[in-house]
Structure formats: C-alpha cells, structure tokens
C-alpha cells in the first residue's frame, strides 16, 4: 500500500485485481450497490466513481466477521475473498481502479481495513500473510452487531488519531511493523505482477513451468500461443515413491481480471481428457468465488494460483526476487532503558 489513507471513502493505495466478466455465468446479480453501516452492498444503478464504494472504515467490521467465519484465522487472500462475498460485491464494483493505476479500489480498501484492524489490536499476524483474531477482536464480535460496529468505529478513530500524532511529531512511538510490511508487500507484488504481465504469453507460460519445477514438478510444455487447453503436462511428487499426473494452464491475463467458473470447467475437461489426476491453473488476476467452488467439485480437482498466491510462491523460492535485510528500529524500543 502507499501512504496512509485519509479518513474518507476515497482512500488511495492498492492491490491489483478484477475486471468485468459475465456475472450471470457466475451466479452474481450483476448490479451495483451502496453500503449500509456494515459495509453490505444494496442494489442501485452503477456508481459513477470510486466515491460510491464503501470506505475502508465501513469494511473493518466485515473483515473481522470474515476472519471469525473462516475459523478465527485466515490468509489475507482468503479474507479478501470472504469479505467480497459477504458484502455482495459484483465484479464490476471490484473492477473500479485508481486513475492511471490498475489497482482495485474496493480490494485496496479491504486491505486498509485489515491493516487498521491489526493496528487497533483486533487482529494479529503471527506470520507473513496470516491473520488471527485476538481476544480483543473476539470481544468486539461478541457484542450485538450495532454495538460492535460502534466499537470498531471508535477503535478506528483511535488508530487514526495515533497516526496523526505520530506524523505531527507529538508522539515518537513508532507505528506497528505490520503497517510497514503491508506497504512493502503492496509495492513489490504490484511491481512483480506488472513485470510478469509484460511477458509474452509464451514467456509467461515458460515462467510458470520454471516456477512449478522449483517445487519438484516434472513438466513437458505443450500447446502454443492462443491455446485454450493445456500448457504443460507431467507429474507432481506426492512422496518419494508416489506421484500424480498433473496438467498445467497459465493465463497471462491483466492483473485486474477475474477468471470465472467457465474457464475452470473447460480446463478440467481438457485435463481429464489428457488423463490428469490433478490440475494447476495460474493467473495474474484472481478467481471468482464460483470458479473456486467449481475447482473442487469435479475431478480432476484444480489448484488455483491467483496473482497474490503467485507472488507468495515467487518470494518463497526467491525467483527473480532479491530479499534485502531491513532494520526495523522501532522494534528495539522495547529494550530501551532510561538512565
């Protein structure tokens, strides 16, 4: 993310995602909406600008509810997908981007909501990209919904006030390392997705094959430019003595795009015809919720790798990424002793 958002609904920063797809094919209602006090979207005509989307403040409570419904902990991408579904967001709404930047305004605001929930002590992150409800977070959600929303709003105001004091120099207590990590994540993931999108379709397929091979898959590339079927076929190791036949498809779509269930279903058909027991579908954008459901209800099941997950895999294998050590000076403040 970029600089901290102002306390209003047109906050800027970002994460790249989603474009318009046929919403009827995915079981969506295809209408735009406005938000109520919980950030849920109500039907209306298409908004003219991003100002009609919910502000990050309205998305903090839905974010906490999403983590609770996911079992008390979840990866960032799981939380984002859950919130989008819970507020009834359409692909059109998520496709609204910042001027000159392919970043989804709505998903960016969900990211900020998650960051504020963490800065306010309702969430914590024991590992990169993993979030857990704290005792305080559970106490908030145990309240009646109206009271909980008011308490969350009060928490957000306190965090915002703390940030303002820190920026003004009146408070020398540094903000949480979590916010710095959020900023770093957004910067490098955006740069990586944009660079991968600059590759030719063939180049992106080759990159995906290379990355999957670093995880032990043995693949043979098939197909070519414009191919709608399988891009790679081979085996994935299950154990030292077992493997599974796997089919791979790489979609070099714009990072703001969304793949629907029709794409998954077509790939499943081709993978089954090739005798694959498992399949891997990779895109720079994201998958709709119906697409994710389709990936698991029919064989071969498909492991979906969206843009965010792709970035995580690249970082894990340090492929084209240089990890630079950074001293987080504020972390050492806890050991300072007076006198």
**For range 287-310, the mean pLDDT:** 92
Both tokens of residue 339? Answer: 């006198």
* Tens digits of residue pLDDT in 76-102: 888 998 999 999 888 888 888 887 777
* Tens digits of residue pLDDT in 124-154: 988 777 899 999 999 999 999 999 999 999 9
**For range 58-72, the mean pLDDT:** 94
Give pLDDT, residue 338: 62
Residue 295 has pLDDT above 60, yes or no: yes
* Tens digits of residue pLDDT in 216-267: 999 998 865 544 589 999 999 988 889 999 999 999 998 888 899 999 999 9
Lowest mean pLDDT among 193-207, 243-257, 314-328: 314-328
Please give the span between the terminal C-alpha atoms of the chain, in angstroms, as a whole number: 39
Give pLDDT, residue 41: 54
Residue 7 has pLDDT above 70, yes or no: no
- Output the DSSP codes for 90-130: -HHHHT-B-TTS--BHHHHHHHHHHHHHHHTTSEEEEETTE
How far is 172 from 177, CA to CA, in rounded Å?
Answer: 14
- Output the DSSP codes for 148-194: HHHHHHHHHHHHHHHHHHHHHTS--PPPPHHHHHHHHHHHHHHHHHH
How far is 57 from 39, CA to CA, in rounded Å?
Answer: 9
Give pLDDT, residue 167: 59
Give pLDDT, residue 6: 43
Give pLDDT, residue 130: 86
Give pLDDT, residue 177: 44
Q: Please report, rounded to a whole number, the percentage of residues in the chain having pLDDT higher than 90.
A: 47
Give pLDDT, residue 50: 74
pLDDT band at 189 (very low <50, low <70, confident <90, very high): confident
**For range 172-182, the mean pLDDT:** 44
How far is 95 from 82, CA to CA, in rounded Å?
Answer: 17
Q: Which residues does residue 251 pair with via DSSP β-bridges, in sequence order?
A: 283
Where do the domains of the chain lie? Answer: 23-190, 199-317
- Average pLDDT of the chain, as a whole number: 79
> Which bin fits 100, alpha (ψ -120 to 50), beta or left (φ > 0)?
left
Reported pTM: 0.60
Nearest to 304 by CA among 339, 243, 263: 263
Which backbone phi and psi does 235 adopt, to 5 degrees? -130, 150
Considering the four listed CATH numbers 2.30.30.100, 3.30.450.40, 3.40.1350.10, 3.40.50.300, the one that applies to the domain covering 199-317 is 3.40.1350.10
């Amino acid at each position: 993310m970029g600089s901290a958002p102002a306390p209003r609904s047109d906050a800027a920063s970002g994460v790249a995602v989603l474009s318009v797809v046929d919403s009827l094919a995915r079981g969506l209602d295809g209408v735009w909406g406005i938000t109520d006090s919980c950030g849920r979207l109500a039907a209306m005509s298409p908004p003219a600008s991003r100002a009609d989307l919910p502000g990050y403040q309205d998305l903090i409570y839905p974010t906490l509810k999403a983590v609770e419904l996911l079992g008390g902990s979840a990866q960032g991408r799981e939380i984002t997908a859950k919130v989008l579904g819970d507020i009834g967001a359409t692909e059109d709404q998520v496709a609204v981007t910042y001027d000159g930047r392919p970043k989804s305004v709505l998903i960016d605001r969900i990211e900020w909501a998650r960051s504020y929930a963490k800065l306010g002590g309702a969430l914590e992150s024991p590992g990169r990209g993993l979030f857990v409800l704290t005792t305080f977070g559970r106490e908030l959600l145990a309240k009646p919904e109206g009271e909980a929303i008011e308490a969350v709003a009060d928490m957000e105001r306190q965090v915002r006030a703390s940030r303002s004091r820190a920026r003004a120099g009146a408070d020398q207590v540094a903000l949480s390392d979590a916010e710095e990590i959020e900023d770093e994540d957004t910067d490098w993931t955006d740069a990586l997705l944009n660079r991968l999108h600059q590759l030719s379709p063939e180049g992106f397929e080759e990159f995906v094959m290379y990355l999957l091979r670093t995880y032990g898959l043995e693949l043979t590339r098939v197909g070519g430019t414009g191919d709608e079927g399988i891009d790679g076929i081979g085996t994935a190791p299950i154990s030292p003595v077992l493997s599974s036949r796997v089919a791979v498809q790489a979609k070099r779509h714009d990072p703001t795009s969304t793949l629907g269930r029709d794409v998954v279903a077509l790939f499943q058909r081709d993978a089954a015809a090739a005798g694959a027991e498992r399949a891997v579908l990779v895109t720079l954008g994201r998958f709709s919720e119906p697409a994710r459901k389709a990936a698991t209800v029919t064989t071969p099941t498909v492991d979906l790798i969206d843009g965010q997950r792709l970035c995580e895999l690249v970082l894990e294998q340090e492929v084209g990424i240089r990890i630079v050590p950074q001293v987080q000076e504020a972390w050492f403040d806890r050991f300072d002793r007076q006198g």
